[in-house]
């Protein structure tokens, strides 16, 4: 079934994320965690405005609150569990990000029983600080191109992605005017 999205502004628009699907959880075993895209059509219906369209997968972040005395350490203890659900968990290889968007390192080991993990660098942390974790590559670009006025761009290479780890985003930017796009996702 096709999904249509009308865009008439130059701001990021989420095309697909886990809120569009019934994901697999402990309460819903029939849900899915993967989005399959067979084709994306981008129609620029403007009569004179070319649009730069960037379509990418953006890493979904999870957050945890630090529960330990301040200081410099590569070992971090949290208030919450490391793995809360499939959609809300930290994985080995994730980037550890501070509240000011500073990347502190990569998760090396996880010890769920003690709500702790070890990252690749020793960093200054404080109690009750909120840290974010996500895939090291924040944006995976699928296409970044100009769609001329009165033109349709068709991306017919199929792909799939994990809804718990990524969202499909488009960032339109009108050249000399406002973007006027219709997106069709099959």
Q: What tens digit of pLDDT does each residue of 108-136 get?
A: 999 988 899 999 998 888 889 899 999 98
CATH (domain of 116) = 2.40.30
Residues 33, 49 within the same domain: yes
Residues 22, 7 within the same domain: yes
Position 11 pLDDT exceeds 90: no
Q: What is the pLDDT of residue 130?
A: 92
Q: What is the pLDDT of residue 123?
A: 86
C-alpha distance from residue 114 to each of 70, 76, 86 (Å):
18, 10, 19
Kindly report which listed range (21-25, 51-55, 104-108, 167-171) carries the lowest average pLDDT score: 21-25
Structural domain for 28, as ranges: 3-59+137-185
Number of independent structural domains in the chain: 2
Of the three residues 114, 134, 154, the one that is the final residue of a domain is 134
Q: Which of 121, 180, 182, 169 is nearest to 141 (CA)?
A: 169
Q: What is the pLDDT of residue 172?
A: 93
Position 93 pLDDT exceeds 90: yes
Position 179 pLDDT exceeds 90: no
Q: Which of 61, 58, 85 is nearest to 166 (CA)?
A: 58
Residues 55, 66 within the same domain: no
Contact 21, 36 (CB under 8 A): no
Read off the pLDDT of residues 150-178 as tens digits, 9 standing for 90 and up: 999 999 999 999 888 899 999 998 887 88
Tell me, yes or no, if the pTM score tops 0.85: no
Residues 121, 158 within the same domain: no
Q: Rounded to 5 degrees, what angle do the CA atoms 15, 55, 186 make? A: 50
């Amino acid at each position: 079934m096709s999904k249509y999205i009308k865009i008439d502004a130059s701001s990021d628009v989420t095309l697909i994320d886990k809120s569009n699907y019934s994901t697999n959880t402990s309460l819903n075993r029939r849900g899915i965690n993967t989005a399959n895209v067979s084709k994306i059509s981008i129609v620029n219906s403007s009569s004179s405005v070319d649009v730069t369209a960037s379509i990418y997968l953006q890493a979904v972040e999870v957050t945890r609150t630090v529960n330990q005395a301040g200081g410099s350490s590569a070992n971090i203890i949290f208030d919450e569990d490391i793995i809360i659900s499939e959609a809300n968990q930290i994985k080995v290889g994730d980037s550890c990000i501070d509240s000011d968007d500073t990347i502190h390192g990569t998760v090396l080991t996880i010890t769920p029983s003690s709500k702790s993990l070890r990252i690749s660098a020793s960093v200054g942390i404080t109690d009750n600080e909120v840290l974010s974790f996500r895939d090291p590559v924040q944006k995976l670009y699928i296409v970044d191109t100009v769609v001329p006025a009165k033109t349709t761009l068709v991306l017919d290479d199929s792909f799939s992605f994990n809804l718990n780890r990524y969202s499909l985003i488009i960032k339109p930017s009108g050249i000399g005017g406002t973007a006027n796009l219709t997106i069709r996702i099959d």
